[in-house]
């Protein structure tokens, strides 16, 4: 049985004391690959996930500027990201997007978001999208700046409703579901997962955040992915093994470099 954690923050300080053990526990639990998200604490350090990928064969990386770090971006940020995208284990730009929950002005977030979408299109790379309290603006930007590229767009930690899931699926996007889908009151998220075509669904943890039941409220880690998989397999009327095979195949198709 093989799974893929398509979104985890292995560079997070919560893993400082046992990072190698966390990775090994994931492998032991059946997680074949982990995609380390490279936003870290924002510029100027854009290589947090690249370092994780160098240290572990099973780990791949993204690079990008999180919307909450938009104020830290400089004129050199995009050119630096462009160089990092040529690294052999860098799979995508992410997580990028819009977040109106906190206090970073949208006027700062929007140009950084659009610049990174343009960079990803030039580099022929997928994007991983973060949106919080900004659904309409996020989808408007993706419709205008990304949907026409034909490149993969992964909606990270999808916690929207069924109508929003259908909107993303209509645009050809992928939906990634994490531990929130296991929460008792998350029936609408589970319904969104149920209707997602098998070749458009991914699993993630967002570790160390948003741990699934039965670890809710504790530090999350990639090995806990199996609990989310078990819940979503039941929702989708398949076995965890089938769900693992489907989502692993999708990850390999859209986020791993082609085999030479």
**56-101 tens-digit pLDDT:** 999 999 999 999 999 999 989 999 999 999 999 999 999 999 999 9
Place of tokens 């050199």: 76
Ordered alpha helix ranges (H), 73-134: 77-84, 106-123
Report the pLDDT averaged over residues 169-186: 98
Q: What is the average pLDDT value for the chain, to the nearest integer?
A: 96
Report the pLDDT averaged over residues 20-38: 98
Q: Is 133 exposed, middle or buried (0-12, 13-18, 19+ CB in 10 A)?
A: exposed
Report the pLDDT averaged over residues 211-230: 97
Between CA 195 and CA 169 the distance in angstroms is 10
Report the CATH superfamily, name and number, of domain 3-255.
Answer: Metal-dependent hydrolases (3.20.20.140)
Q: Over 90: is that where the pLDDT of 37 sits? A: yes
At residue 260, the pLDDT reads: 47
> Which residues, other chains included, contact 109 with Cβ-Cβ below 8 Å and sequence gap of 6+?
67, 70, 98, 99
- Locate the domains of the chain by residue range: 3-255
């Amino acid at each position: 049985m093989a799974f893929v954690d398509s979104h985890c923050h292995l560079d997070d300080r919560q893993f400082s004391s046992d990072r190698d053990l966390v990775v090994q526990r994931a492998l032991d639990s059946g997680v074949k690959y982990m995609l380390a998200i490279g936003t870290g604490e924002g510029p100027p350090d854009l290589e947090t996930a690249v370092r994780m990928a160098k240290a572990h064969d099973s780990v791949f990386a993204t690079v990008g500027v999180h919307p909450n770090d938009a104020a830290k971006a400089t004129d050199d940020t995009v050119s630096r990201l462009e160089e990092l995208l040529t690294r052999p284990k860098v799979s995508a730009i992410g997580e990028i997007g819009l977040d109106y929950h906190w206090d970073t002005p949208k006027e700062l977030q929007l140009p950084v978001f659009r610049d990174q979408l343009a960079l990803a299109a030039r580099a022929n790379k997928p994007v991983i999208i973060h949106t919080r309290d900004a659904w309409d603006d996020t989808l408007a930007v993706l419709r205008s700046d990304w949907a026409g590229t034909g490149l993969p767009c992964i909606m990270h930690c999808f916690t929207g409703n069924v109508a929003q899931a259908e909107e993303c699926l209509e645009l050809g996007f992928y939906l990634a579901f994490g531990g929130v889908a296991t929460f008792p009151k998350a029936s609408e998220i589970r319904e969104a997962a149920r209707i997602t075509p098998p070749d458009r669904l991914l699993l993630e943890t967002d570790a160390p955040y948003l741990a699934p039941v039965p670890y809710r409220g504790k530090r999350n880690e990639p090995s806990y992915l199996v609990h989310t998989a078990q819940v979503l397999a039941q929702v989708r009327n398949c076995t965890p093994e089938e769900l693992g095979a489907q989502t692993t195949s999708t990850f390999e198709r859209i986020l791993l470099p082609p085999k030479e």
